[in-house]
Structure 1
Amino acid sequence: MRLAFVMAAAWMFFLNSPVKAQQSELIDRNFTGVSQEATPQGARRDIQDQASQKVSEEIIKELIGEDRFSKNKSLIQSKIIKNSARYIPFAKASSLTQEGTEYKMSVSLKVSLRDLKQMLQDSTLLNENDTIPVVLPVISWIDRVQGKSYRWWLPGDKSQQAFLIKEARILEEAMRNSFQKNNFFAMKPIDAGLGTAVPVDFQNERVAGEDAQFFSQYFNAPLLIDGQVVLNKTDSGKNYRIEVRMTAVQVSNGRAIADVSRRYDTENGSFENVVDKKMREVIEATSNDLASQVLEAWQRGSLGTSVIRLTIQGRNTLPLTEGLKEKIRSQITQVKSIRERLVSSDSVSFEVDTAVSAAELTGKLEALDVDGKKLSKVSEKQDEIVLKWAQ
């Protein structure tokens, strides 16, 4: 079935589906092509196919980058562009003109960014890079029952910490298995003896800030799992409580991309025996939950992006604010998400998750036309942009 018929059918469905029309993020793109087909009908079909191909390639490159596009060109062609009617619900062609043996025509297309992103995500093409992400756990173990603690990056009396080390190994193994299912590599710092490689200046109780940057670079791990496992008595005093908190942090920008928090009570019995039993029962599910959240962030293309605070000065009516958000979502493909953070009488602030720099984003924002209004730059920093409505 030729593209023109498929796209016409898709547009008829689109017209009769207001929910779909409201939910899709539509980008307007135009294409002018030429064809040397023998007949006007053949030329029209050929140029429509060219339009779908060219526009698809342009937007996909914006979303995943030139390198990733080139490496996966055949997959993109067979899985995505071949099924372009799923994300191009409308195409309107101009009149066909003939110059000698060539026909010329323009095509206006509407592309559903949301549907295209979903297809790319389903084919695992929306990730920011092809390398296997490395995950480094930096988890503190705190035993308030026996008054002990253990952190693999700190020197200590291993004989006194034997029980906590054993439990930490169980967690390491569970995390290795959970992340491995999703093609991530979770390091096992205890088994690998990484603690001996940590310089004295970075042997601090908490791995954060500059310490986190050092650990990430030194061990070549862009993701750290920061967390605590706290062992305590329950209120009744008859059994024990295990509290687990783990947060996956993208070190390059300090963003938390996933977290789990769990509380488990043991059976009655000997402290070490019942804690060990409960840990073996629950830690796999806890690790799976964290690994799944990290995978979701990876598939959305959220890894490798940064969060920029965007403030628009001036009177922002609700229709104008909503119109701006819709324009950003639909026209700036490098923006992964935009969320309102602060609204006042004279400004509105957003949190923008983007794969481009603040300078590049500023240029794209200034190029937008929102109901005839334009934005102009007031100031720009690495993580913050301030714009105002131009007069």
Structure 2
Amino acid sequence: MKIVFFIIGFLLFNHSHAELIEIHHQATVDTKVNSSVQKDITEKAVEEISNRYIAELIGEGKLKKHKSEIDSKIIKNYLKYIPILKVSDVKRSQAGAEAEVFMKLSIDNLKEMLLQAGLLYEIKGSPIVLPMISVTDRVNSKSFVWWSDSYSIEQMQLKEWLENFQRRLKVVLSKQNFFTLQPLKWDMGKLIPKAFQSDKPRTDDMIFLSTQFKAPIIIKGDIKISRLHNLDNRFIINLKLEALQASNGRIIGEVIRSYETSSGNFQVVVNDKFNSVNEGIALDLSRQIVDAWQKGTFGSSLIQLTINGRLNYQQLESLKSMIQQQVREVRGLRERFLSVGTYTFEVDSSLPASELAKAITGKKFTSYKVEVDEVKANRLALNVKIR
């Protein structure tokens, strides 16, 4: 007996642009009713394959912990990430039935569903953002940071400028479901231990503070105001802001800008310039943060992957595709440097380099022999030969 069917739905996700992985799976059910064989085999195969790939994305522990939620929010709606499914060669036995199941699955769409359901990351609710931004007025030799529990009246203008920017940042990020702390409004400086009240805290200190405030994202940086080319009444604002993952200090967003003011009173022209650029700065940085979050690369490490071997273009592309499809811990693979025999990529991975090396070499890549050449902190080199 042979039963073949295709499921192709009108989905909310765009499968024409999503990469689909082809999967062949053997499913067995113990049903004794002929009319339900096809349905039971389909459900069994979908659940087994879904669990496999969801576990690779979020881990076995989290899969078991949230199984009922995953069943109701993800697997129940499998058409959104499994647009094509085929059951064939159904064989009956006293125990039930078994069949070959072919399907095409979109990892991107599955990842998007997990993200929307709040299951892709451990964080529940809106991710918290901790701003650690300083303002320096080089014209009048003043500076201000919120994490010091004391400041003078002379610093009030700097405090106001910083507070306005942080307020704008909060509004922009809140539209993307991020919650930005308001240290000045909530007088959080009083909560900071003296040992961490340095004007220029180390990244490790910021990461420590972020854990105290349960913030997985830090925005650190400096805003510096100087006189422009020794002119008395024109000024320049230089700023550098970085968004960091609190888990490992990795930069996931960066904004570097310089703005010249018009001619006039220091406080007036600097204030006008801040008011005109705050929105754009906040939008630029927020887009980068949201992009890292939505791609599923948040919480991952950035690893330099070098492939050594004489591969032509088609062979290299084939190997890249196999790595991305088979090694679920690889969340992104971008070319950085290509030369004859040496190909360097930037990889987003949920594993450190040493564990990623084991994950890659533990897979079988058709036509390729892959061996580890060298492993360092954030670097991995592979030797590849054509079989």
For normalisation by structure 1, the TM-score amounts to 0.81
1:383 aligns with 2:378: yes
User: Cα 1:118–1:340, aligned 2, differ >3 Å: closer, same or farther?
Assistant: same
Instruction: For residue 175 of structure 1, give the secondary structure of its aligned residue in structure 2.
Output: helix
> Residue type matched to 1:171 in 2?
F
What is the one-letter code of the residue matched to 1:248? A
Q: How does 1:300-315 map to 2 (within 5 A)?
A: 300-315=295-310
Q: SS at the partner of 2:109?
A: helix
Which of 93, 99, 103 is the equivalent residue of 1:99?
93
CA gap 1:278/1:37 in 2 versus in 1, 3 angstroms:
farther
Aligned residue in 2 for 1:259: 254
CA distance in 2, matches of 1:61, 1:196: 39
Q: Aligned to 2:81, which of 71, 75, 87? A: 87
Matched letter for residue 220 of structure 2: D
Shift in Å, 1:214: 4.1
- Aligned residue for 2:333? 338
On the 8 A contact 1:127/1:298 being kept in 2, the answer is no
**Closer, same or farther: CA 152–50 of 1 in aligned 2, 3 Å:** same
Task: Number of aligned residue pairs: give it.
Answer: 379
Unmatched tracts of structure 1, length 5 or more: 12-16
Please say if 1:133 is aligned against 2:106: no
AA of the residue aligned to 1:305: S
Q: 1:277 to 1:366 in 2, by over 3 A?
A: same
Q: Quick one: which amino acid aligns to residue 137 of structure 1?
A: P
> Post-superposition shift, 1:44?
2.8
Structure 1 residue 55: Cα displacement: 1.0
Alignment match, 1:272: 267
Superposed CA offset, 1:212-268 (max 9, x none): 444444555432212122224456865544344321111433311122344445555
The 1:382/1:163 distance shift into structure 2, 3 A limit, reads: same
Please tell me the residue identity of whatever aligns with 2:81: Y
The answer on whether the counterparts of 1:340 and 1:350 sit within 8 Å (CA) in structure 2 is yes
Give the match for residue 160 of structure 2: 166
Equivalent in 282, 290, 308 of residue 287 of structure 1: 282
Aligned Cα RMSD in Å? 3.5
Counterpart among 175, 180, 183 of residue 189 in structure 1: 183
**For each residue in 1:87-144, what CA deviation from the matched residue of structure 2 results, as whole angstroms up to 9, or x when unmatched?**
3244343422222262222323232223323333444543353264332222221223
Between the two proteins, what is the percent identity of the paired residues? 32
Residues 166-208 of structure 1 show CA distances to partners (whole Å, capped at 9, x for unaligned) of: 22222233334444444434333344242773445x5555334
SS of structure 2 residue aligned to 1:36 = coil
Shift of 1:367: 3.1
Per-residue deviation, 1:315:
2.2
Query: For residue 91 of structure 1, what is the amino acid of its counterpart?
Result: L
One of 37, 41, 64 as aligned partner of 1:43: 37
Amino acid at match of 1:327: M
Q: Is structure 2 residue 386 aligned with structure 1 residue 354?
A: no
Query: Secondary structure at the residue paired with 1:360?
Result: helix
2:106, 2:178 → 1: CA distance?
31
Quick check: 310-319 or 230-239, which moved more?
230-239
Cα 1:64–1:101 change in 2 (3 A) is closer
More helix by share: 1
2:108 aligned to which of 114, 117, 124 = 114
Pick from 145, 152, 155 the counterpart of residue 146 of structure 2: 152
Is there any run of 5+ residues in structure 2 with no aligned partner, and where? Answer: none
